[in-house]
Amino acid sequence: METRVNEIAERIFRFSTCLEGVAPGGFTFNQFLVLADEPLLFHCGMRALFPLVSEAMKKVMPPSRLRWISFGHVEADESGAMNQWLAAAPAATVVHGKVGCMVSIADLADRPPRAADDGEVLTLGDRRVRVVLTPHVPHGWESLVLHEEVTGTLLGGDLLTTTGDGEPLTRRDPLEEVLDAERKFHAWALAPQSSALVRKLADLAPKRIASMHGSSYEGDGALLLRRLAAGLDDLVDARRASLGEGARASRPTANVAGRPSAPSTQPQPR
Ligand SMILES: [Fe+2]
Ligand SMILES: [Fe+2]
């Protein structure tokens, strides 16, 4: 087992470890380093991967230089090695949303985290990352993504999960593989607001989307995210149908202004 290092955007490095047995063809766990004046690591990896990933980071910079640590949500692959990174980097601070800090991280982390608001921009010196809170997207109440605004790179966590050990960065359309993975894993906390939040991320118009599992994507990120949102709506419908519910019956219908119509509270004639 090895952790490979690739630069997927200018001074944004991907550390990728493929584990066999998780899925046919393997399954990658990817951490991303924004090598700014104040370097930021997005995703800690599992505790057991820390020796490999920290050695990989040394090919780029000493881990002790880290200033910021963040992750999509609290889960072993996203945050498992958080305290090992805090120990390796004495000046590092975990930054996360207020819910994540309040509910979990203030207790789990060996040093106090910094709580960020939705939309807040964290200046890393020569780089800027915008914190976008995405509750339950793809899963976890505290979920967030980061958008690195200088390169237009969305650190998207589990949004584009695919199996296999593909290239670090691809322009190939991943949508069907992403939806296939979701049909297999059921990892999304799919809810009526899921696709709306993904459409909100599309408005960031990212030039590339760094994926925690699988290849990162370079291309029209807005279009891909809008198509993902439509695919998620279809999955919600399919799951409702599998539960014996009408697929679209309970979805609000748009009125002529494009706004959802409020359900009628008046008695209906029989
Ligand atoms: Fe996750
Ligand atoms: Fe993950």
Domain chopping of the chain, boundaries: 3-242
pTM value is: 0.89
pLDDT band with cut points at 50, 70 and 90 for residue 223: very high
Pairing of strands 3-9, 68-70: unpaired
Ligand nearest to the CA of 213: 2
Chain CA centroid to CA 76, Å? 14
Residue 139 CA, ligand 2 centroid: distance in Å: 10
Q: For residue 22, which ligand has an atom nearest its CA?
A: 2
Cβ–Cβ < 8 Å for 199, 229? yes
What local confidence, expressed as pLDDT, does residue 251 receive?
A: 52
pLDDT of 247 reads 54
* pLDDT tens column, 106-165: 999 999 999 999 999 999 999 999 999 999 999 999 999 999 999 999 999 999 999 999
Helices (H), the chain: 50-58, 76-79, 82-88, 98-100, 106-108, 175-185, 194-202, 221-242
| Distance from Cα 163 to the centre of ligand 1, integer Å | 14
According to the model, what pLDDT value does residue 147 have? 98
pLDDT at residue 246, as a whole number: 65
Distances (CA, A) of 62 to 37, 67, 88, 173: 13, 11, 9, 35
Looking at 3.40.1530.20, 3.90.230.10, 3.60.15.10, 3.30.300.180, the CATH number of the domain 3-242 comes to 3.60.15.10
pLDDT at residue 192 in the model: 81
pLDDT tens-digit readout, 47-106: 999 999 999 999 999 999 999 999 999 999 999 999 999 999 999 999 999 999 999 999
Distance (Å, whole) CA 202 – CA 37: 28
Q: Residue 265's pLDDT is what?
A: 38
The residue with tokens 């789990």 is 108
Burial class (CB in 10 A: 0-12, 13-18, 19+), 257: exposed
Ligand 2 midpoint to CA 193 (Å)? 21
Nearest ligand, measured from the Cα of 212: 2
**In one letter, which amino acid is 103?**
V
Give helix 194-202 / helix 221-242 axis angle, nearest 10°. Answer: 170
User: pLDDT band for position 240 (50/70/90)?
Assistant: confident
**C-alpha 41 – ligand 1 centre gap (Å):** 16
